DNA sequence: CTATTAATTTAGACTGGTCAAAACCAGGTA
DNA sequence: TACCTGGTTTTGACCAGTCTAAATTAATAG
């Protein structure tokens, strides 16, 4: 029943909400979906009429429980499709997003279940983003950014890399920094450049804009350093 | 660039054309797509404006070469997706159609190629319908119906079963009559009931409406008995 | 408390797809 | 030839989604 557009709005609002919290403004949504503010105003009004979000004029919107469920269903389909493309059709992590963005609105529940089963209930998509299970319980463990989690000399495992900016993603994949790989922070400069050593011994200089998009878990022995939130594109 | 609706119209017109030949009437299209005649008139006008078909008012339409190419692309995607669902996700031939009907409009060329590759360039979908290769060269070998091809006592291989009527399809699949299986015509009654023996020795009585939807190749030794055309749903 | 301004909403318009109701054609019938 | 009648087109309407331009609001600066 919901259209592609409706699902894309819900997904976008969900993402913004979990990164920056409600209320989500018209312009934030417009920015995320590349639509004009006027268009967004009109759409959030219909979403509000359908009970998917609550809205306060000139303030912003917030998903209702129903809206959040609907959003999570889309996110689940999106990530499952991404995982599927990477696993079964040999897509690169960089190629997976656009295809999934179209397909996410058109696969049946049946399809979703079967994909999930064939992949043996994967926990994360190729970017490391957690895949909500069928009951939509959502851990959504974001992890902490490189600099937040790891002091120079410390080592950790990449949990997730943001898929938001294709160029950043490309950069990271080229550097061999992908989910599950091990990295050690060698150095952090005052202007934000982070030098890391990957498991194969190579060193890479990551500009701040890139380093901030890498989320890691510290290599055991010390508890979770938290904070450094950011919800991903999917 | 073409929308879902445009693609569905082209596919429908292509199918009708290859079953009954041009011109294809407004009501035929309306029937096939479950739209009102008024809607169809309006759509064929825009299709005509785009050069995808030629139209003579009150007479009907016929695909142009460009329209036929576009239609074949959709058919190709549809059948490839059906094959993929059956092969990789373990769908039954009866379950495959609706999913493919939605997805066919949203998979990229890249996806199509990869699926084709992973399936090792399959010749036919789960209903036996030929899959046009990337160059869209189209054999579209329809095969002959059971009674047309096989006299009682003769044996043949099922080439294709019509996917048009879900109930008929279900009946055939349940009886174990699917593409590549061997059947022998045991008997044909005056009122059209065809009794066949399948390879496992079981006999099945097929009402005329069912038998007419089974296409076979005679078991070697004699050339192709032809005729008995019918284009399928995909 | 007022004036400025940036964000937001409203107003009005357009496209694509659809339908119901009314008008219209074309081929066959009397 | 004049009339039916079934299929077809026309007309006018509507919904979803989008945009531009104009009006409005809220927050901030003076
Ligand atoms: Mn999408
Ligand atoms: Mn992702
Ligand atoms: Mn379709
Ligand atoms: Mn088929």
- Express each pLDDT in B185-197 by its tens digit: 998 998 888 999 9
What confidence tens digit (pLDDT) does each residue in B35-61 have? Answer: 999 999 999 999 999 999 999 999 999
In words, the CATH class of domain A4-63 is mainly alpha
Report the pLDDT averaged over residues B58-77: 98
What confidence tens digit (pLDDT) does each residue in A8-42 have? Answer: 999 999 999 998 989 999 999 999 999 999 999 99
Provide the residue ranges of all domains of chain B, joining segments of one domain with +: 4-63, 145-218
**CB atoms B103 and A98 under 8 Å:** no
* Rounded distance in angstroms from the CA atom of residue B13 to the C1' atom of nucleotide D1: 39
Contact by Cβ (8 Å): B47, B39: no
The pLDDT of residue B24 is 98
Contact by Cβ (8 Å): B171, B196: no
| A197 or B226, greater pLDDT | A197
For the range B12-15, what are the long-range contacts, defined as Cβ-Cβ under 8 Å and sequence gap of 24 or more?
B13/B53, B13/B61, B13/B63, B13/B67, B13/B71, B14/B63, B14/B67, B14/B68, B14/B71, B14/B72, B14/B75, B14/B231, B15/B231, B15/B232, B15/B233, B15/B234
Name the residues contacting strand C (CB < 7 Å). Answer: A 25-27, 37-38, 40-42, 44-45, 55, 57-58, 60; B 3-6, 34-36, 38-39, 42-43, 46, 58
CA of B157 to the centre of ligand 2 (A): 46
% of chain B residues with pLDDT over 90 = 61
Does the structure show a pLDDT above 60 at B227? no
| Closest ligand to residue B104's CA | 3
Report the pLDDT averaged over residues A153-179: 85
The pLDDT of residue A221 is 58
Report the pLDDT averaged over residues A35-51: 98
Contact by Cβ (8 Å): B38, B1: no
Nearest to A103 among B85, B90, B103 (CB): B103
Report the pLDDT averaged over residues B208-213: 86
* Rounded distance in angstroms from the CA atom of residue A56 to the C1' atom of nucleotide C3: 26
Domain at A145-218: CATH code? 2.30.30.90
The pLDDT of residue B209 is 85
Q: Find chain B residues with C-beta within 8 A of A103's C-beta.
A: 103, 106-107
pTM above 0.75, yes or no: yes
Q: Find chain B residues with C-beta within 8 A of A89's C-beta.
A: 111, 114-115, 118
**CB atoms A95 and B110 under 8 Å:** yes
């Amino acid at each position: 029943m919901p259209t592609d557009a409706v699902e894309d709005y819900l997904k976008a609002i969900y993402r913004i909400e979990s990164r920056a919290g409600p209320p989500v403004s018209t312009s934030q949504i417009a920015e995320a979906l590349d639509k004009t503010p006027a268009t967004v105003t009109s759409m959030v009004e219909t979403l509000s009429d359908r009970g998917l979000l609550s809205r306060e004029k000139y303030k912003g919107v917030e998903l209702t429980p129903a809206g959040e469920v609907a959003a999570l269903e889309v996110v689940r389909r999106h990530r499952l499709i991404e995982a599927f493309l990477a696993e079964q059709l040999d897509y690169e992590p960089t190629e997976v997003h656009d295809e999934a963005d179209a397909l996410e609105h058109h696969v049946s529940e049946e399809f979703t279940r079967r994909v999930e089963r064939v992949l043996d209930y994967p926990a994360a998509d190729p970017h490391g983003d957690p895949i909500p299970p069928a009951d939509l319980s959502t851990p959504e463990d974001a992890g902490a950014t490189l600099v937040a989690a790891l002091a120079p000399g410390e080592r950790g495992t990449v949990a997730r890399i943001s898929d938001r900016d294709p160029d950043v993603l490309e950069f990271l994949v080229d550097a061999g920094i992908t989910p599950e790989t091990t990295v050690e922070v060698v150095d952090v400069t005052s202007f934000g450049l982070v030098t890391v050593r990957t498991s194969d011994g190579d060193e890479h200089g990551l500009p701040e804009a890139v380093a901030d998009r890498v989320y890691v878990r510290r290599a055991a022995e010390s508890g979770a350093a938290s904070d450094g939130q950011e919800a991903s594109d999917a």
